[in-house]
Amino acid sequence: AKAAGKATWARFEPRMRSEVVNHARLGSELHNAIIRHELYLAYQPVFDLVTGRMSGAEALVRWRHPVRGAVPPAEFIPVAERSGLIVPLGSWVLREACEQLARWQAEHGAAAIRSINVNVAARQLREAGFVDEVAAVLSDTGLIPANLVLEVTESSVLDGRQVRDTLQALHELGVRLALDDFGTGQSSLSLLRAFPVDVLKLDKSFVDGICDGEDRGRLAVAAAVAQLAEYLDLYAVAEGIETAAQLERLREMGYRLGQGYFMAKPLAPAELAELMVRTGRP
């Protein structure tokens, strides 16, 4: 009866308005989600496309809502960004992900998994204490700074002087910086000159098109990003690889690292450890 009532409500409510209401409620619920342990992390392996070994993993936040069930990050991350809740949420993700990498390395050796990728929102980069926070997490977990890859988007990098100083300080700390969703932004090339970037992460939307004979545009972007990375001595990573053909094509283009459902979906820590052991011994 409850589900039917909800459906009726949704039909009468104009789309925009119901979204606003929904966001307000989500925001207040998100506030307690960390405390109530409703948030957890899934880890999607990043593979070395040449050796086939796992090189690292990207931490992806999940919210198991007691009533709504699984809420996708694409729904609550934007809400968290607007309300500022992304700051405590992001702090939790950073610490949890680094602790997890330290546990894997303690159990399986540092060679079994080298790095952890953590998504960082613009709001976090604007916090005055962010660099100190990263330094504290590294020191508490005993990770070496190069083990941590912070994924930032082009738009958040363009946020101004303070963010640029923060990225410079993180770089000096030895943390690696990845430009996420690369190719989707506006001023990619000038960004690369102005910021201490280590990794270019090609967006899935380009990977989707590379084996489509009709789609020369996306193929060209994918190939150009790999070339650019090589010239600038950066790592090129491809995300959202779903087929063997895409994997082969990206490898030919020069992508050394990749992630996608073809190799592995986001996993629970124990599942990833199992896969790590399996792929680590040829």
What residues make contact with ligand C2E under the rule CB under 6 A?
A: 44, 60-61, 72-74, 77, 90, 93, 119, 121, 180-181, 239-242, 259-261, 266
Q: Which two tokens stand for residue 241?
A: 């690889």
- Contact between 180 and Ca ion by CB under 5 A: the answer reads yes
Contact by Cβ (8 Å): 124, 86: yes
Q: Which two tokens stand for residue 148?
A: 């941590």
- Contact between 154 and Ca ion by CB under 5 A: the answer reads no
As beta bridge partners, residue 258 has 47, 238
Give which of Ca ion, ligand C2E, none residue 234 binds (C-beta under 5 to 8 Å, depending on kind): none
Q: Which is nearer to ligand C2E, 48 or 242 (CB)?
A: 242
| Of the candidates 115, 40, 50, the residue with the CA atom closest to the CA atom of residue 276 | 115
CA pair distance 70, 64, nearest whole angstrom: 5
Beta-strand runs (E) in 37-99? 39-48, 54-65, 69-71
User: In the bound complex, what is the minimum distance in angstroms from residue 239's beta carbon to Ca ion?
Assistant: 5
Q: How many Cα atoms occupy the beta-carbon half-sphere of 1 within 13 Å? A: 0
Number of C-beta neighbours around residue 267 at 10 A: 18
Q: Which is nearer to ligand C2E, 110 or 158 (CB)?
A: 158
Name the one range near Ca ion by CB under 5 A: 6-14, 80-88, 138-146, 177-185.
Answer: 177-185
User: In the bound complex, what is the minimum distance in angstroms from residue 9's beta carbon to ligand C2E?
Assistant: 26
User: In the bound complex, what is the minimum distance in angstroms from residue 268's beta carbon to ligand C2E?
Assistant: 13
Q: Which two tokens stand for residue 197?
A: 């970037």
Give which of Ca ion, ligand C2E, none residue 154 binds (C-beta under 5 to 8 Å, depending on kind): none
Name the one range near Ca ion by CB under 5 A: 23-31, 99-107, 234-242, 260-268.
Answer: 234-242
